[in-house]
Structure 1
Amino acid sequence: MGIISKISKISNIVVSSTKEKVKCKYLERNIKSLNNRIKDTDDKKAAHLIIEKENMQKKIEEEKINESERRKKITVELKKQVEVSNRERKEEVKHLNTVQKVKKEFEELPIATAVDDLVSGISDIEKAQELVKKSPENIYVWLNLAETIKFHKKAFLIINGIKAPWDMIGSTIDLTMEFVGGAIEDNVDKNKWTYERAINQAIKLGATRKQIREFAENYKKNIVISGVKGTSHMILKQGKKLTKTSERIIDFAADKFILKNNKK
């Protein structure tokens, strides 16, 4: 709704400016025509034409004032909306370190993160993480998270392997971000759960090596169902990212637009 409202306001400002120019130009042409008629007529008729000309000049001034005030009001509302959006974006990253900020910026890019969104949906990793948050003392939710992470990595490599012949550059970027970026993040973000950390947490809660092995052997994924879920997840995530990225572009454009109009 925010992005639609901002686009609407920018459109209204442009329409107002265009309307003012068109109407004023029309009246100015009529005034020019009246000036020619005034020169070619007697004083009695000219007096009537002069009054008509003065009324047109007043209309021009009124049009300029009314549309200018209308644009100022819309601009103030637009500026407030952009400030709120910018403030909310700053709040989102306020407590993040540099690596986490860069990671968040990348994760919010549409298209570039399509494969990761697809893999996340296929592996159900977000669901596994939510289960851990809800039941942190349950051994099996940690074992489930560990196997989900392992499946996530495997699916990521397979999908990049499939698309590599057609998208070598994209696959190289994805794999570099996964391994190089992931290694850096693991060292900086000690709260990020890896396969090893999830297993160690399960062991701390009392899981035996036998339980871990049996859970891994019984962990199965229906590839067809997972593929459908992954695709739906990717479409939903990419749609949100496109909207968010579009709003950031609109906010940037709105800032420049407001600045340009204030200089006039």
Structure 2
Amino acid sequence: MSRGPMAQDTQDGRTMTRTAMKAELLDAETERALAYAWRDHRDEAALHRLITAYMRLAISMASKFRRYGAPMNDLIQEAGLGLMKAADKFDPDRGVRFSTYAVWWIKASVQDYVMRNWSMVRTGSTSSQKSLFFNLRRVQARLEREAMAEGVELDGYQLREMIAREVGVPLRDVEMMSGRLSGSDFSLNATQSAEDEGREWIDTIEDDGPRGDEQVEQAHDHAALRHWLTQAMGKLNARERFIVRERKLRDEPRTLESLGDELNLSKERVRQLEAAAFAKMRKTLEEKGSEVHSLLV
């Protein structure tokens, strides 16, 4: 008996998952060495090893988007592309784990794929449109439940205004996305079956947002890291702090040449000062030992 496309997709997805789970787990030092080998020497073997080790992360994130109706194999492929983009752009000098950096690229790649294939009508690709696409129905359902519990009746305009404030996007974006998602391609407000007493598919969607305890932990960890980095920066002299800020803390980092021109130094001298500054900061952070390590892994 031959398998249908859905069964084959499921089987292939499971096979890829089993293969990924057997891959090695990289420690921070090995991961950093592989990242340097790829960035500085374009060592394809190092890239392959880095990608293979974190494919399990890509598959895990891809599985969270399966509810949108896309084949699992396609989601995994897009997640893998995001992982490769992350590896190509990863800067090991920043001192963070590759997995932390890769999560954003994987999620962005899968979300773009889902939005491209959701409907014949283009849903858009800006950050606000993405936020609406993946959160509008869930936020709308919650607001309607809260209003009903308080005995408040909301008209469509009031509801869209509340959604815009909740998601943090312009009202016009909410109105546009509501119209596009209300078409006949797929409705999350459709009931699952008569036996479920009118239960809608929207009720089965998992909230992608962080839980309350996770938000508290993240806020605590970020505050601790900011404090330690501020202490590390305080060990630098004024010129070193300037170079670090311009090279690593700007949205568009400056080149060694431009800094050299401003400081009346050679490009090589600026590079040496930058390396010395990082060494000082690394020494300061290493004094924190396992505390810093636990937040970065």
TM-score by length of 1: 0.27
Comparing both structures, which one devotes a greater share of its residues to helix?
1
Comparing both chains, which one has the higher relative contact order based on Cα–Cα distances under 8 Å and sequence gaps of 6 or more? 1
Larger Rg: 1
TM-score by length of 2: 0.24
